[in-house]
Amino acid sequence: MAVMTHLMTLQQGAIVWSDWRSRYPTIQPDLSDADLNEVELRGANLQGTDFCRSSLSWAVLNESDLSAAKFNKAVLHKAEFIHAKLREAQFVDANLVGADFRKANLNDANFIGADLKGANFTDADLVGANLIGTELRGAIFKRSDLTRADLRRSDLSNALLMHANFADANLADANLVDAELSGAHFYRSIFHKAKLKSAHFSGAYLFGADFSGADLSGADLSWANLGKANFVGANLSGTNLRGANLAGAILPR
């Protein structure tokens, strides 16, 4: 449960809250299980704050410092985190449907099991983020950096990933059916046994990518760089490879 003095201070607004944080820097704020729907805390210092199981739907947390904050099992429907600092933040099993993370710093953030349907990560930094088993249907990752991100078993069907960077990312067993990935960067990315039916990779950089056992039936890989990519055991039925660079690629027998 939230500590009442912490909750009362927060309800006085971002300026009062940030002043309190500067006077008591060693206190770890506890706002767990709190009703904070529609709260506005733009630019607040919320480092390390515990929001576990709290309700923060439609909350405005733009430009706030939420580094290492905990949102496990919280409800954050359509919450705004634009330009927020969320490095190493925890969102395990959180409800983030329609949340806005544009230009947010989410390096090493943990989203295991989170519901992120329709979330917007345009221009966000997600280097090393843990997105294992997340629900990302229709999510937007335009120009996002997901270098070394772990997206195993995630559902990215109908997601928009144009011009995003997924270098060394792990998308094994992920669902990317009908996903839009044109112009994206997938250097040495892992798509082992991924569902890629009708996915659009036109013009993508996929050098050294691992598509072993993946279903690429009906996928568009036209003009993609597939040099040294591994397609062992992959389903390429109806796949469009027009103009693709397949130098050194290992194709299915």
Q: Does 153 score more than 80 pLDDT? A: yes
Give the pLDDT of residue 178.
98
Least confident residue range of 17-26, 96-105, 234-243:
17-26
* Rounded Cα gap, residues 235 and 212, in angstroms: 9
Q: Residues with Cβ < 8 Å from 76, sequence gap 6 or more? A: 56, 57, 59, 91, 94, 95, 96, 99
Phi, psi (degrees; rounded to nearest 5) at 205: -100, 110
Q: Which two tokens stand for residue 81?
A: 């985190």
Residue for token pair 């009362």: 8
Q: Does 2 score more than 80 pLDDT? A: no
- Tens digits of residue pLDDT in 133-144: 999 999 999 999
Give the pLDDT of residue 13.
85
State mean pLDDT over 37-42. Answer: 94
Query: How much is the mean pLDDT over the chain?
Result: 97
Give the pLDDT of residue 180.
98
Higher pLDDT pick, 140 / 25:
140
State mean pLDDT over 192-215. Answer: 98
Q: Does 239 score more than 70 pLDDT? A: yes
Q: Does 1 score more than 70 pLDDT? A: no
Give the pLDDT of residue 3.
82
Residue for token pair 């221009």: 123
pTM score, two decimals? 0.95
| pLDDT band per the 50, 70, 90 thresholds, residue 18 | confident
- Tens digits of residue pLDDT in 46-67: 999 999 999 999 999 999 999 9
Q: Which two tokens stand for residue 26?
A: 């060693």
Q: How far is CA 20 from the centre of its chain?
A: 32
State mean pLDDT over 121-148. Answer: 99
CA angle at 95 for the pair 93 and 100, rounded to the nearest 5°? 125
pLDDT above 70 covers what percent of the chain? 99
* Rounded Cα gap, residues 150 and 171, in angstroms: 7
Reference 165, options 209, 126, 111, 116; nearest CA is 126
